[in-house]
Amino acid sequence: MLEKLRHAVFLVIEKLLRWCISPKLRAALLRMFGASVGRNVRVAECQFINLRMGFSNLRLDDDVYVGPGCLIDLEGAVLLGKGVTLSPRVQIITHDDPGAYHKSPLLATFPKKAYTTQVGTYSWIGVGSTVISGATIGDFVVVGAMTLVKADLSSKGVYVGVPARRIRSVDVP
């Protein structure tokens, strides 16, 4: 019972965070509610789901920007490195679950699993892209709009498509 009450409190907090009009204040509130949040972080109005662990699975390093309309699944850990930019409507998913809540028979073949999903320093995820559970995106990566990231992406590259494929390198100093 206590676990359900705790989860309900986090759901209410998540709804209240959406009403906060300042991205910097929203970042500060996330820190206050258990997320690890660095300096100069801005979080636009977005949605956090699977708050069983509250916001403790969220780590935003310095200079991170989370754009409006993003959906971030906190069943597993989400780690956004320094200078990461999530454009509007990016989805980050951290778990696979065919229906554990209602005990789906598919669980025998596809058990529920939670993963860490990580985006490296100074990476930029384009509008409407989806990062699937367990993917690791390297440093200095550009993910084009509407791209599906379902595997690890090497550093210093531009990736586009469904699924993501490398189309060129990125030269950074």
Threshold 0.75, pTM exceeds? yes
Calculate the alpha carbon distances from 167 to 17, 27, 137, 159, 163 in Å.
37, 34, 15, 6, 12
Q: Taking the domains of the chain in order of start, what are their residue ranges?
A: 2-169
Nearest of 88, 92, 85, 70 to residue 17 by alpha carbon: 70
Over its length of 173 residues, how does the chain's per-residue pLDDT go in tens digits? 787 787 788 888 888 777 778 899 999 999 999 999 999 999 999 999 999 889 999 999 999 999 999 999 999 999 999 999 999 999 999 999 888 888 899 989 999 999 999 999 999 999 999 999 989 999 999 999 999 999 999 999 999 999 999 999 999 87
Q: What is the pLDDT of residue 3?
A: 79
**Predicted local confidence at residue 85, as pLDDT:** 98
Nearest to 95 by CA among 122, 109, 116, 80: 116
| Residue ranges with strand state E in 88-150 | 91-92, 95-96, 113-114, 117-119, 124-125, 130-131, 136-137, 142-143, 148-149
Asked whether the beta carbons of 151 and 135 are under 8 A apart, the reply is yes
Confidence at residue 18, expressed as pLDDT on a 0 to 100 scale: 78
What does CATH list as the number for 2-169?
2.160.10.10
pLDDT given at position 1:
74
Gap between the Cα atoms of 105 and 2, Å rounded: 28
Q: What integer pLDDT is reported at residue 130 of this predicted model?
A: 98
Q: How far, in Å, CA of 73 to CA of 165, rounded? A: 24
Sole residue written with tokens 């058990």: 111
